[in-house]
Amino acid sequence: MDCATSRELISARIDGETGVDEEHRLALHLSGCPRCRTEDERALALHRMVRLRSAELIPDHTEAILARAGVARLGRRQWVRFSLAAVGVIGIVDALPDLLLGHEHGVPTHVARHIGALTVAMFMGFLYAAWRPHRAMGLLPVAAALAVTMVVSALVDVSGGAAHVLAESAHLIDVAGVVLLWMLAGAPRPRWVSARLSPA
């Protein structure tokens, strides 16, 4: 084998295009030709350099991601979990007569059961969040929407004389549950609020 053929096979071997016979003939030639052996070493070094490079530095966005994800804050806030669990139990116990018996003053049985089912579902969500705090953020929008609509409707009914203040004060437990859920979710705030509160 001459040196020109050897250089062609060196290139072909790097590309994985040589057969067993060609590999054998090239090895024999390289064992006796220092120039081609040097050429082979240079080609292999260049191939490695082209294929391998240092990993690029990637900025660490962990804190920003966790802040946006609303990760539950535990540690000293374990009392929030226990309080939320207590709210969940109280709410379920209070709503069970509506769900099981259809008992709600001035409301048809079918409607009372629907109200009871919705209320039990929300307070079961509170219990689940107390058990699995990392789920608190996902439950927060739904629970907040339910609590806000209940409070608003209660205010409308009280102001219109359709309900008594003491009777509607039962919805305070809904508000308490949402506040605890919000705290468990890491007290998330809208961007515009965070922007105003952050130092200039």
Please tell me the predicted confidence (pLDDT) of residue 177: 92
User: Could you list the mean pLDDT of each consecutive 10-residue stretch along the chain, which spans 200 residues?
Assistant: 85 84 87 88 83 73 68 65 93 86 73 85 92 87 88 86 77 89 81 54
Please tell me the predicted confidence (pLDDT) of residue 48: 80
**122, 176 contact by CB (below 8 A):** no
Please tell me the predicted confidence (pLDDT) of residue 86: 94
Contacts of 28 (CB under 8 A, 6+ apart): 1
175 part of a folded domain? yes
Please tell me the predicted confidence (pLDDT) of residue 66: 64
25 part of a folded domain? yes
For residue 155, give both structure tokens.
Answer: 């205010």
**76, 69 contact by CB (below 8 A):** no
Domain that holds residue 41: 3-51
12 and 91 within one domain = no
103 and 32 within one domain = no
CA distances from 67 to 80, 95, 109, 137, 192 (A): 19, 35, 45, 11, 15
60 part of a folded domain? no
Give the global pTM.
0.56
The Cα 8–Cα 40 span in angstroms is 10
Helix, coil or strand: residue 200 = coil
The Cα 196–Cα 73 span in angstroms is 23
63 part of a folded domain? no
Q: What angle do CA 181, 187, 192 make, to 5 degrees?
A: 130
CA distances from 93 to 73, 89, 107 (A): 28, 6, 19
Rounded to the nearest 5°, which phi and psi values hold at 100?
Answer: -85, -40
**2, 30 contact by CB (below 8 A):** no
84 and 47 within one domain = no
139 and 182 within one domain = yes
